[in-house]
């Protein structure tokens, strides 16, 4: 059988039903991520980790801090074929502070480059509501360590109800060079996305649309000079994001669109780990990021361009304990600054113990800090008018996290159990008042408590991945009148996930992703549904007459839940689609 690209080992279905796969697709049922979708995950998805908001999650690619300065809603707009990327790693606590994310306070999604595979695949699909999709990914070995691959994808649909249509196209090309001690990757990616959805960002019943074009040019070089864990990684990227939002798609189009935004981000820097001896190592990072925005509506701020500098130095130590086991220490300090606001010093310390145990692999307790500069939507929106009321007085948010995590392996099971407490100061939220026809940016002091557990096991014919999260929050808006919170207080108090892969025969699989959640009540949620069970199922058959062909039947939202993942935004109905993939 030809190679199958695994986008994530922690979810069952590797391809979406509604459209072509994007980096967000593998996060839909990820145990450590709460993906809150408008329409579908690949349309517009907010990525929340550990009870944070869409803006508190960072994205990195081979260390590159990917970012959109207008709003965190576009952090996941990455015009890269998922087959070019590794499976996502979710980083929190000390891992986030040391280098797993920038301008993020709750968690990060980290990707590395996947080696180019000589060969390719072509896939097509069709389903209800006039849904059709197609994708191709082709790689070539050029010799002497050089390789290249190209990917393209397209999808279109009329949607499950009126004004819920979409059309997406994406192109990405990469040049890769790999040697014994180094690897270089150069990427150009472009994505054009249009989609409509009622109540996409506002609760006023309007047929809203987004039209987004994203261009990314990126390059990284990694050098592993020795046989130890040391490395040096440098990189740079330029990203342009054009966003044209319409509150009412049927309103006459003016000469100057009312919500037209173009952002530019340029970043360069690097990170490294230097092994000093068998027990000690030093990790360092430094990045310079420059951003700017052109907007027809965000014209009320104090600035429209910024330069950010972020860096840090961290000391790693490990030593054997007299009574058995290993002790580890990671400590250091980071620094975030910008020419447009406050600075932040972000210390981190983590103590770890790997006991001599047949069950417990590692126990770690850590204290970490992080900071985040505000988005242009928050600080440059009109504070006295319009749909999205900004606040020019908002500045850098900071967070402090204390967490305890244990990892285990026993009787074929592996996993982790942990608890955390995070204190956010001046976190930016978007709030709603019953007597006020708009949503407003507001700073909130927030305390979040959580427990996270994950376990997985494989048998001869079945793989099982289980996840559970408990969250509780205490909020303080400083006396501001708040009747509802779109983001900071939109979270599940309990969330269970289960991914099941059943290899019924050597050429027939059943894949099932599940999420059951008990949502914290939110007055903005219009259908009063706080509990829901979401599932996606896929049947995959590789006929015996061809090892290269795979046929599939997929159902998304199997139980036809009407749960509003974002309050007041209607859910997508159940969708059935069939597909075929040819690999060589």
Mind listing the pLDDT tens digit for each residue in 153-185? Answer: 999 999 999 999 999 999 999 999 998 899 999
pLDDT at 259 over 90: yes
Q: Residue 4: its pLDDT value, please?
A: 66
pLDDT interval class at 2 (50, 70, 90): low
What size, in residues, is the chain? 584
Condensed to tens digits (0 to 9), the pLDDT of residues 388-440 reads 999 999 999 999 999 999 999 999 999 999 999 999 999 999 998 887 777 89
pTM for this prediction: 0.95
Ordered structural domains, the chain, with CATH = 25-250+258-583 (2.40.170.20)
Return the SS3 of 87: coil
- Alpha-carbon gap, residue 288 to 268, rounded angstroms: 6
Q: Determine the Cα–Cα distance for residues 490 and 443; give it in Å rounded to an integer.
A: 16
> Do 290 and 306 meet the contact criterion of CB atoms below 8 Å apart?
yes
Residue 432 phi, psi (nearest 5): -135, 140
Residue 1: the pLDDT is 47
Of 247, 270, 266, 272, the residue nearest 257 (C-alpha)? 247
Task: Identify whether the C-beta of residue 471 lies closer than 8 Å to the C-beta of residue 449.
Answer: yes
Closest listed residue to residue 195, CA positions, set 44, 313, 68, 305:
44
Is the distance from CB of 503 to CB of 509 less than 8 angstroms? yes
HEC string for 500-559: EEEEEECCEEEEEEEEEEEECCCCCCCCCCCEEEEEEEEEEECCCCCCCEEEEEEEECCC
**What pLDDT, on a 0 to 100 scale, did the predictor assign at position 520?**
94
Give every CB contact of residue 188 below 8 A, 6+ residues apart in sequence: 172, 173, 174, 216, 217
In whole angstroms, give the CA distance from residue 64 to residue 114.
15
Residue 108 scores a pLDDT above 90: yes
Q: Which helix (H) or strand (E) holds 361?
A: strand 360-372
> Would you state the structure tokens that stand for residue 266, as one six-digit string?
């340029």
Three-state DSSP class for residue 324:
coil
CB of 363 closer than 8 Å to CB of 352: yes
Confidence of residue 254 (pLDDT cuts 50, 70, 90): confident
Cα Rg of the chain, angstroms: 23
Which residues, 6+ apart, have CB-to-CB distance to 270 below 8 Å?
63, 232, 233, 234, 235, 285, 286, 287
């Amino acid at each position: 059988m030809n190679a199958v690209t695994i986008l994530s080992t922690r979810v069952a279905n590797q391809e979406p039903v509604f459209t072509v796969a994007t980096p967000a697709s593998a996060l839909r049922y990820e145990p450590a991520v709460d993906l809150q979708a408008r329409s579908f995950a690949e349309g517009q998805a907010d990525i929340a980790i550990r009870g944070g908001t869409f803006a508190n999650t960072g994205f990195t690619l081979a260390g590159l801090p990917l970012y959109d300065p207008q709003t965190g809603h576009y952090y996941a707009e990455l015009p890269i074929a998922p087959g070019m990327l590794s499976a996502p790693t979710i980083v929190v606590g000390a891992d986030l502070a040391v280098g797993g994310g920038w301008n993020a306070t709750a968690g990060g999604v980290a990707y590395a480059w996947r080696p180019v595979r000589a060969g390719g695949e072509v896939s097509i699909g069709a389903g209800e509501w006039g849904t059709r999709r197609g994708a191709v990914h082709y790689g070539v070995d050029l010799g002497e360590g050089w390789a290249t691959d190209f990917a393209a994808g397209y999808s279109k649909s009329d949607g499950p109800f009126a004004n819920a249509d979409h059309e997406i196209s994406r192109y990405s090309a990469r040049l890769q060079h790999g040697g014994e001690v180094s690897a270089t990757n150069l990427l150009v990616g472009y994505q054009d996305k249009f989609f409509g959805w009622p109540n996409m960002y506002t609760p006023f019943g309007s047929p809203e649309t987004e039209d987004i074009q994203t261009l990314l040019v990126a390059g990284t070089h990694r050098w592993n000079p020795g046989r130890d864990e040391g490395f040096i990684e440098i990189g740079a990227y330029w990203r342009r994001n054009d966003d044209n939002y319409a509150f009412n798609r049927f309103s006459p189009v003016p000469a100057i669109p009312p919500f037209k935004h173009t952002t530019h981000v340029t970043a360069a820097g690097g990170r490294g780990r230097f092994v000093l001896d068998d027990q000690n190592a030093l990790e360092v990072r430094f990045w310079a990021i420059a951003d700017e925005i052109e907007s027809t509506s965000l014209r009320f701020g104090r600035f429209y361009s910024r330069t950010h500098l972020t860096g840090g130095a961290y000391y790693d130590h490990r030593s054997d304990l007299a009574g058995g086991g290993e002790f580890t220490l990671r400590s250091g300090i980071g620094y975030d600054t910008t020419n447009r606001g406050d600075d932040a010093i972000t210390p981190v310390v983590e103590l770890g113990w790997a006991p001599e145990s047949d069950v417990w692999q590692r126990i770690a307790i850590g204290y970490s800090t992080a900071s985040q500069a505000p988005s242009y939507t928050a600080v440059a929106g009109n504070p006295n008018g319009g749909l999205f009321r900004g606040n020019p007085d908002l500045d850098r948010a900071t967070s402090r996290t204390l967490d305890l995590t244990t990892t285990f392996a026993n009787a074929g099971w592996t996993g982790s159990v942990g608890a955390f407490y995070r204190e956010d100061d001046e976190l930016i939220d978007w709030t709603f008042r019953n007597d006020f026809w708009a949503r407003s940016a507001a700073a909130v002091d927030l305390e979040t408590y959580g427990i996270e557990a994950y376990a997985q096991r494989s048998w001869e014919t079945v793989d099982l991945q289980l996840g559970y999260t408990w969250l509780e929050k205490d909020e303080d808006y400083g006396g501001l009148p708040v009747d509802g919170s779109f983001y900071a207080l939109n979270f599940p108090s309990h969330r269970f996930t289960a991914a099941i892969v059943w290899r019924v025969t050597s050429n027939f699989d059943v894949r099932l992703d599940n999420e059951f959640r008990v949502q914290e009540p939110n007055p903005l949620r219009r259908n009063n549904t706080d509990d829901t069970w979401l599932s996606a199922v896929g049947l995959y058959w590789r006929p015996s007459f061809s090892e290269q062909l795979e046929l599939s039947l997929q159902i998304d939202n199997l139980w036809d839940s009407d749960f509003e993942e974002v309050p007041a935004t209607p859910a997508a109905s159940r969708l059935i689609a069939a597909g075929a993939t040819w690999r060589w």
